[in-house]
Structure 1
Amino acid sequence: MAQTNHFDSIAEVFNRIWYFSDDYKDFVIHHIREDLSLTPEDILVDIGGGTGTFTSRLADEAHLTHAYCVEPSSSMCSEAAKHENITAVCCDADDFLASHTPFSKMLFKEVIHHIPNRAEFWKTLYASFQNGGKLLIITRPQEIKFPFFEAAKVEFARNQPPFTMIEAELKASGFEVNVIPRSHTFTLSKESWYEMLRHRFMSDLRVFSDQEIEKGIAEIEENRKGNETIDIIDNLIFITATKT
């Protein structure tokens, strides 16, 4: 996984700026638990788990004894290590597999575009799983519905692999694959959304200078005069792959 310096720079404020709503978190957590069929006997690995917020909550709600937050950014990993019910591991996905640490379930939440050489990675992952092992990828379509400025939408699409490509890669590696699109709409104040943009809460925004971000915010503002809140539609794609 790449772009660790970007996440190092926002680690201390990440939980605050990457905040949509409690409702949104409940929505995502519920479907992760259901799609991964998490049980207390499972060992969960959250690849690119950031500050460990989701990893820790999944461990708590599924009563997991072992859960790993695997995060290559040292600053983010330090934040994750503050959660007492998970193990924070500062490395990338390839290095974690190379460690031969046992696991039964694996989560990739909005990080799949950071995995290089995916086809080879899936083959290694397939071999690492016991029968019944399962992974869940949460990603988005290339045409994002977030209230981004146009240049940000283009950058996001450029970085985001089509989910059909991911599906084909997983099937070619031997996995049984299931794809479910889900959508969640929530409302934020404009200032909260603009703060997220200014902090470049998604790595796709890292290429824009402060001036370009402000110009982009002005573009969004021009289209939303008189509105103090922004409705945000998050179209997510849940890809489950099982070794049978």
Structure 2
Amino acid sequence: MTETTTAEHYERVAASYNEHWTYDPDYVRRFADAMVDALRLGSSDVIADVGCGTGLYTRRLAARVEPAHPVLCVDPVPAMLEQLPSSPALRPLQASAEDLVSGAVPLPDGTRPDAILLKESVHHMADRAATLTGLAGLLSRHGRVLVVMLPPAIGHPLFRAAHERFRELQPEPAEIEGILAAAGLRASISYRTFHAAIDRERYVRMLEARYMSVLSDFSSEELAEGVAQFRHAYRDTPVLRFEDRFAFVAGWVRPG
């Protein structure tokens, strides 16, 4: 997906984005808690959520950590940032990861984050190595970065062409770990599995709304055909149950 197409996709889905992902509020809470634990976040940390979207997870992260400094909510799409709740714990910044790295959009007040979170955004980077290396260079001396990403093969009940397209576009977690290690960080990969259950017809509406960015690669006719295939495959399954298995790729600044 091109940068323009990505921006257009998120502009279009911004207003309904939270609705798609809040079918199970406990899922969001558990996911946010897992990211807090993986980054070992504390209230004194300066935190940046790069590619925060609507802040669906960021707001829960902030509620758990109760940070002394507002969480910097970074996203290039104004319509997504407009969905952020007004809160002293959240500070919006319209920028892409590339903007931060290049200095086109500077971090406010000369901030050097203690923790940078990138949830499901790394596949949108045109040059992952340069961008992740640049983000690593923005960290404080005890900083860390967490890249949360799906592996190329996923358990989502998509139609076949969507699965194939996702595998083509999604990088391997090992590639991201290698980039962070090459940037001088102590890098590692762990996996977290989250169980999901959702009404089939609600999921159909999510597919039709292109809730995943990969679905924007399909024309209206192709998407309709995929939805028809999906309906046939899951015609006897009123409630979809599947496992979301995510790679948590972490990088920590080495002491010294």
TM-score (norm 2): 0.90
The match for 2:27 is 24
CA–CA distance in structure 2, aligned partners of residues 203 and 226 of structure 1: 27
**CA drift at 1:124:** 2.0
Higher alpha-carbon deviation: 61-70 or 207-216: 207-216
The match for 1:59 is 62
* Percent sequence identity over aligned pairs: 26
The match for 1:70 is 74
CA–CA distance in structure 1, aligned partners of residues 221 and 134 of structure 2: 43
The match for 1:111 is 121
Q: How does 1:188-207 map to 2 (within 5 A)?
A: 188-207=198-217
**CA drift at 1:15:** 0.4
CA–CA distance in structure 2, aligned partners of residues 123 and 90 of structure 1: 21
**CA drift at 1:130:** 2.0
Higher alpha-carbon deviation: 54-63 or 95-104: 95-104
The match for 1:177 is 187
| Unmatched runs of 5 consecutive residues or more in structure 2 | none
The match for 1:149 is 159
Higher alpha-carbon deviation: 180-189 or 80-89: 80-89
Amino acid at match of 1:89: L
**CA drift at 1:131:** 2.0
Q: Name the SS for the 1:137 alignment partner.
A: strand
**CA drift at 1:141:** 1.0
The match for 2:9 is 6
1:128 aligns with 2:138: yes
CA–CA distance in structure 2, aligned partners of residues 4 and 13 of structure 1: 15
Q: Name the SS for the 1:135 alignment partner.
A: strand
| Unmatched runs of 5 consecutive residues or more in structure 1 | none
**CA drift at 1:174:** 0.5
Moved over 4 A (4+): none
Q: 1:201-244 CA deviation, whole Å, 9 max, x = no partner?
A: 11111011222222112212222222211112211111111011
Number of paired residues? 244
**CA drift at 1:173:** 0.8
**CA drift at 1:123:** 2.6
1:165 aligns with 2:194: no
Q: Name the SS for the 2:82 alignment partner.
A: helix
CA–CA distance in structure 2, aligned partners of residues 174 and 127 of structure 1: 9
CA–CA distance in structure 2, aligned partners of residues 100 and 72 of structure 1: 14
> For the Cα contact (< 8 Å) 1:20–1:186, is it kept in 2?
no
Q: Name the SS for the 1:28 alignment partner.
A: helix
> For the Cα contact (< 8 Å) 2:196–2:241, is it kept in 1?
yes
Amino acid at match of 2:53: G
Higher alpha-carbon deviation: 125-134 or 191-200: 125-134
**CA drift at 1:81:** 5.6
TM-score (norm 1): 0.94
RMSD: 1.6
1:239 aligns with 2:242: no
The match for 2:100 is 96
Q: 2:147 aligns with which of 133, 137, 157?
A: 137
Q: Name the SS for the 2:66 alignment partner.
A: coil
> For the Cα contact (< 8 Å) 2:191–2:245, is it kept in 1?
yes
CA–CA distance in structure 1, aligned partners of residues 51 and 221 of structure 2: 29
1:230 aligns with 2:240: yes
